[in-house]
Amino acid sequence: MQLVTQLDGRGCNIPNHRIEVALVQSQGVHSRQQQPGQGQNPVFHQGASGKSGCRSVDFWACYCTFRHRKTTVEILLFVIIAALVVWAIVVYNRLVRDRNRVMAAWSDIDVQLKRRYELIPKLVKAVQAYARFESSTLEHLTRLRSQGEVTETPRERGQVESELTAGVQKLIAVAEAYPELKTADQFLSLQRNLTEVENDIQFARRYYNGAVRNLNTRIETFPDLFFAQMFRYRPAEYFELETVTEAEPQGFS
Protein backbone atom coordinates (compact mmCIF):
# COMPACT_ATOMS: atom_id res chain seq x y z
CA MET A 1 0.00 0.00 0.00
CA GLN A 2 2.90 2.30 0.69
CA LEU A 3 4.17 1.71 -2.82
CA VAL A 4 0.83 2.55 -4.42
CA THR A 5 0.56 5.77 -2.43
CA GLN A 6 4.01 6.93 -3.47
CA LEU A 7 3.46 6.20 -7.13
CA ASP A 8 -0.01 7.73 -7.16
CA GLY A 9 1.53 10.88 -5.73
CA ARG A 10 3.52 11.17 -8.94
CA GLY A 11 0.34 11.13 -10.94
CA CYS A 12 1.12 7.71 -12.48
CA ASN A 13 -1.36 5.04 -13.26
CA ILE A 14 0.56 1.76 -12.80
CA PRO A 15 -1.41 -1.43 -13.39
CA ASN A 16 -2.17 -3.25 -10.13
CA HIS A 17 -0.89 -6.60 -11.35
CA ARG A 18 2.52 -5.05 -12.01
CA ILE A 19 2.65 -3.68 -8.47
CA GLU A 20 1.61 -7.04 -7.00
CA VAL A 21 4.33 -8.86 -8.96
CA ALA A 22 6.94 -6.40 -7.75
CA LEU A 23 5.78 -6.76 -4.14
CA VAL A 24 5.74 -10.57 -4.26
CA GLN A 25 9.19 -10.74 -5.79
CA SER A 26 10.68 -8.29 -3.33
CA GLN A 27 8.93 -9.85 -0.29
CA GLY A 28 10.37 -13.29 -1.17
CA VAL A 29 13.86 -11.95 -0.80
CA HIS A 30 12.86 -9.82 2.18
CA SER A 31 11.63 -12.87 4.17
CA ARG A 32 14.98 -14.61 3.66
CA GLN A 33 17.28 -11.68 4.34
CA GLN A 34 15.52 -9.38 6.82
CA GLN A 35 16.96 -9.50 10.33
CA PRO A 36 14.70 -9.28 13.37
CA GLY A 37 14.03 -5.72 14.44
CA GLN A 38 14.93 -4.31 11.07
CA GLY A 39 12.35 -2.74 8.78
CA GLN A 40 12.97 -2.23 5.11
CA ASN A 41 10.82 -1.05 2.33
CA PRO A 42 10.48 -4.11 0.11
CA VAL A 43 10.25 -1.98 -2.94
CA PHE A 44 13.81 -0.75 -2.58
CA HIS A 45 15.33 -4.09 -1.43
CA GLN A 46 18.58 -4.80 -3.27
CA GLY A 47 18.21 -8.59 -3.58
CA ALA A 48 18.34 -10.27 -6.94
CA SER A 49 14.62 -10.72 -7.11
CA GLY A 50 14.15 -7.32 -5.55
CA LYS A 51 16.11 -5.70 -8.35
CA SER A 52 13.82 -7.30 -10.87
CA GLY A 53 10.76 -5.99 -9.06
CA CYS A 54 12.20 -2.49 -8.70
CA ARG A 55 13.03 -2.30 -12.37
CA SER A 56 9.53 -3.36 -13.30
CA VAL A 57 7.97 -0.68 -11.09
CA ASP A 58 10.46 1.99 -12.18
CA PHE A 59 9.73 1.26 -15.82
CA TRP A 60 6.03 1.83 -15.37
CA ALA A 61 6.67 4.89 -13.23
CA CYS A 62 8.87 6.41 -15.92
CA TYR A 63 6.38 5.44 -18.58
CA CYS A 64 3.54 7.12 -16.72
CA THR A 65 5.64 10.23 -16.10
CA PHE A 66 6.46 10.39 -19.82
CA ARG A 67 2.79 10.01 -20.71
CA HIS A 68 1.88 12.76 -18.28
CA ARG A 69 4.43 15.15 -19.77
CA LYS A 70 3.48 14.21 -23.31
CA THR A 71 -0.18 14.89 -22.55
CA THR A 72 0.73 18.29 -21.12
CA VAL A 73 2.68 19.21 -24.27
CA GLU A 74 -0.17 18.03 -26.49
CA ILE A 75 -2.66 20.13 -24.55
CA LEU A 76 -0.38 23.17 -24.82
CA LEU A 77 0.03 22.69 -28.56
CA PHE A 78 -3.72 22.29 -28.97
CA VAL A 79 -4.35 25.54 -27.08
CA ILE A 80 -1.80 27.41 -29.22
CA ILE A 81 -3.22 26.05 -32.48
CA ALA A 82 -6.78 26.82 -31.38
CA ALA A 83 -5.77 30.39 -30.47
CA LEU A 84 -4.16 30.87 -33.89
CA VAL A 85 -7.25 29.55 -35.65
CA VAL A 86 -9.53 31.86 -33.68
CA TRP A 87 -7.19 34.76 -34.37
CA ALA A 88 -7.18 34.01 -38.10
CA ILE A 89 -10.98 33.87 -38.14
CA VAL A 90 -11.24 37.22 -36.36
CA VAL A 91 -8.77 38.89 -38.72
CA TYR A 92 -10.45 37.40 -41.79
CA ASN A 93 -13.86 38.60 -40.64
CA ARG A 94 -12.50 42.11 -40.14
CA LEU A 95 -11.01 42.10 -43.62
CA VAL A 96 -14.29 40.91 -45.12
CA ARG A 97 -16.22 43.55 -43.19
CA ASP A 98 -13.93 46.37 -44.35
CA ARG A 99 -13.97 45.12 -47.94
CA ASN A 100 -17.78 44.94 -47.96
CA ARG A 101 -17.91 48.46 -46.54
CA VAL A 102 -15.75 49.69 -49.41
CA MET A 103 -17.93 47.91 -51.96
CA ALA A 104 -21.11 49.34 -50.43
CA ALA A 105 -19.64 52.84 -50.42
CA TRP A 106 -18.64 52.50 -54.06
CA SER A 107 -22.16 51.37 -54.95
CA ASP A 108 -23.49 54.54 -53.31
CA ILE A 109 -21.14 56.64 -55.43
CA ASP A 110 -22.30 54.82 -58.55
CA VAL A 111 -25.92 55.57 -57.68
CA GLN A 112 -25.21 59.28 -57.26
CA LEU A 113 -23.24 59.44 -60.51
CA LYS A 114 -26.10 57.80 -62.40
CA ARG A 115 -28.44 60.42 -60.98
CA ARG A 116 -26.22 63.08 -62.52
CA TYR A 117 -26.12 61.19 -65.82
CA GLU A 118 -29.92 61.45 -65.95
CA LEU A 119 -29.84 65.20 -65.34
CA ILE A 120 -27.19 66.09 -67.92
CA PRO A 121 -29.30 65.46 -71.08
CA LYS A 122 -32.18 67.45 -69.54
CA LEU A 123 -29.83 70.29 -68.70
CA VAL A 124 -28.39 70.31 -72.21
CA LYS A 125 -31.89 70.38 -73.70
CA ALA A 126 -32.91 73.28 -71.49
CA VAL A 127 -29.84 75.29 -72.48
CA GLN A 128 -30.37 74.51 -76.18
CA ALA A 129 -33.75 76.19 -76.04
CA TYR A 130 -32.11 79.53 -75.25
CA ALA A 131 -28.55 79.30 -76.55
CA ARG A 132 -26.82 77.92 -79.59
CA PHE A 133 -23.62 75.95 -79.30
CA GLU A 134 -21.60 73.55 -81.39
CA SER A 135 -22.73 69.97 -81.65
CA SER A 136 -19.23 68.88 -80.65
CA THR A 137 -19.89 70.17 -77.14
CA LEU A 138 -22.96 67.98 -76.75
CA GLU A 139 -21.14 65.04 -78.30
CA HIS A 140 -18.28 65.51 -75.88
CA LEU A 141 -20.61 65.41 -72.87
CA THR A 142 -22.46 62.41 -74.26
CA ARG A 143 -19.21 60.55 -74.85
CA LEU A 144 -17.99 61.28 -71.32
CA ARG A 145 -21.33 60.16 -69.91
CA SER A 146 -21.15 56.85 -71.79
CA GLN A 147 -17.51 56.38 -70.88
CA GLY A 148 -18.27 56.92 -67.21
CA GLU A 149 -20.93 54.22 -67.24
CA VAL A 150 -18.50 51.54 -68.46
CA THR A 151 -15.36 52.60 -66.58
CA GLU A 152 -14.65 50.14 -63.78
CA THR A 153 -11.75 51.32 -61.64
CA PRO A 154 -12.30 54.26 -59.25
CA ARG A 155 -9.19 56.04 -60.50
CA GLU A 156 -10.26 56.00 -64.14
CA ARG A 157 -13.82 56.82 -63.16
CA GLY A 158 -12.57 59.84 -61.24
CA GLN A 159 -10.75 61.17 -64.29
CA VAL A 160 -13.82 60.81 -66.50
CA GLU A 161 -16.12 62.36 -63.91
CA SER A 162 -13.75 65.30 -63.46
CA GLU A 163 -13.95 66.08 -67.18
CA LEU A 164 -17.70 65.62 -67.12
CA THR A 165 -18.00 68.02 -64.19
CA ALA A 166 -15.99 70.61 -66.11
CA GLY A 167 -18.32 70.20 -69.10
CA VAL A 168 -21.42 70.65 -66.94
CA GLN A 169 -19.92 73.77 -65.41
CA LYS A 170 -19.54 75.18 -68.91
CA LEU A 171 -23.23 74.64 -69.53
CA ILE A 172 -24.05 76.45 -66.31
CA ALA A 173 -21.75 79.27 -67.37
CA VAL A 174 -23.73 79.66 -70.60
CA ALA A 175 -26.84 80.46 -68.59
CA GLU A 176 -25.14 83.50 -67.08
CA ALA A 177 -25.30 85.23 -70.47
CA TYR A 178 -29.04 84.61 -70.89
CA PRO A 179 -31.33 86.23 -68.30
CA GLU A 180 -34.34 84.38 -69.67
CA LEU A 181 -32.60 81.07 -69.15
CA LYS A 182 -31.52 81.97 -65.62
CA THR A 183 -35.13 82.61 -64.64
CA ALA A 184 -36.70 79.65 -66.45
CA ASP A 185 -38.42 77.29 -64.02
CA GLN A 186 -37.16 74.15 -65.74
CA PHE A 187 -33.57 75.34 -65.72
CA LEU A 188 -33.74 76.45 -62.09
CA SER A 189 -35.20 73.09 -61.06
CA LEU A 190 -32.49 71.21 -62.95
CA GLN A 191 -29.82 73.41 -61.43
CA ARG A 192 -31.09 72.76 -57.91
CA ASN A 193 -31.23 69.02 -58.54
CA LEU A 194 -27.76 69.06 -60.02
CA THR A 195 -26.38 70.95 -57.03
CA GLU A 196 -28.01 68.45 -54.68
CA VAL A 197 -26.54 65.53 -56.61
CA GLU A 198 -23.08 67.12 -56.60
CA ASN A 199 -23.25 67.48 -52.81
CA ASP A 200 -24.34 63.86 -52.45
CA ILE A 201 -21.46 62.77 -54.68
CA GLN A 202 -18.98 64.63 -52.50
CA PHE A 203 -20.44 63.12 -49.34
CA ALA A 204 -20.38 59.62 -50.83
CA ARG A 205 -16.83 60.18 -52.06
CA ARG A 206 -15.60 61.17 -48.59
CA TYR A 207 -17.27 58.14 -47.02
CA TYR A 208 -15.84 55.81 -49.67
CA ASN A 209 -12.32 57.19 -49.32
CA GLY A 210 -12.57 56.79 -45.55
CA ALA A 211 -13.56 53.15 -45.97
CA VAL A 212 -10.68 52.64 -48.42
CA ARG A 213 -8.25 54.21 -45.99
CA ASN A 214 -9.37 51.86 -43.19
CA LEU A 215 -9.06 48.79 -45.42
CA ASN A 216 -5.65 49.77 -46.80
CA THR A 217 -4.32 50.54 -43.33
CA ARG A 218 -5.47 47.17 -42.05
CA ILE A 219 -3.95 45.10 -44.86
CA GLU A 220 -0.66 47.02 -44.72
CA THR A 221 -0.01 46.66 -40.98
CA PHE A 222 1.10 43.65 -38.94
CA PRO A 223 -0.35 41.18 -38.08
CA ASP A 224 -3.27 41.67 -40.48
CA LEU A 225 -0.73 42.02 -43.29
CA PHE A 226 0.15 38.33 -42.98
CA PHE A 227 -3.45 37.16 -43.34
CA ALA A 228 -4.24 39.75 -46.04
CA GLN A 229 -1.47 38.31 -48.20
CA MET A 230 -2.67 34.80 -47.45
CA PHE A 231 -6.22 35.67 -48.57
CA ARG A 232 -4.91 37.81 -51.49
CA TYR A 233 -6.31 41.14 -50.41
CA ARG A 234 -5.11 44.17 -52.38
CA PRO A 235 -5.23 47.89 -51.52
CA ALA A 236 -8.34 49.61 -52.86
CA GLU A 237 -8.20 52.71 -55.06
CA TYR A 238 -9.33 56.13 -53.91
CA PHE A 239 -11.96 58.07 -55.83
CA GLU A 240 -10.80 61.61 -56.49
CA LEU A 241 -12.48 64.35 -58.49
CA GLU A 242 -9.86 66.69 -59.87
CA THR A 243 -10.48 70.22 -61.01
CA VAL A 244 -10.10 70.29 -64.78
CA THR A 245 -9.01 73.61 -66.25
CA GLU A 246 -9.73 73.96 -69.92
CA ALA A 247 -9.95 76.74 -72.47
CA GLU A 248 -13.13 78.71 -72.85
CA PRO A 249 -15.78 76.79 -74.78
CA GLN A 250 -16.07 77.57 -78.44
CA GLY A 251 -19.25 77.98 -80.41
CA PHE A 252 -21.45 79.55 -77.72
CA SER A 253 -23.33 82.67 -78.81
Long-range contacts of 13-20 (CB under 8 A, 24+ apart): 13/64, 14/57, 14/60, 14/61, 14/64, 15/60, 18/56, 18/57, 18/60, 19/57
Please tell me the total count of domains within the chain: 2
Residues 146 and 199 in one domain: yes
Range of the domain at 216: 88-230
Mean pLDDT, the chain, whole residue set: 74
User: Does 238 map to a domain?
Assistant: no
How would residue 135 be classed by pLDDT, with cut points 50, 70 and 90?
low
Give pLDDT, residue 36: 47
180 and 97 together in one domain: yes
Confidence of residue 125 (pLDDT cuts 50, 70, 90): confident
Q: In this structure, what DSSP letter does residue 42 have? A: G
SS3 label, residue 243: coil
User: Which CATH number does the domain housing residue 99 bear?
Assistant: 1.20.1440.20
The answer to whether the pTM exceeds 0.75 is no
Peptide bond between residue 223 and the one before it cis (omega within 30 degrees of 0):
yes
Whether 179 and 119 map to the same domain: the answer is: yes
Rounded Cα–Cα distance for residues 59 and 53 (Å): 10
Do 71 and 92 belong to one domain? no
Q: In whole angstroms, what is the distance from residue 164 CA to residue 153 CA?
A: 16
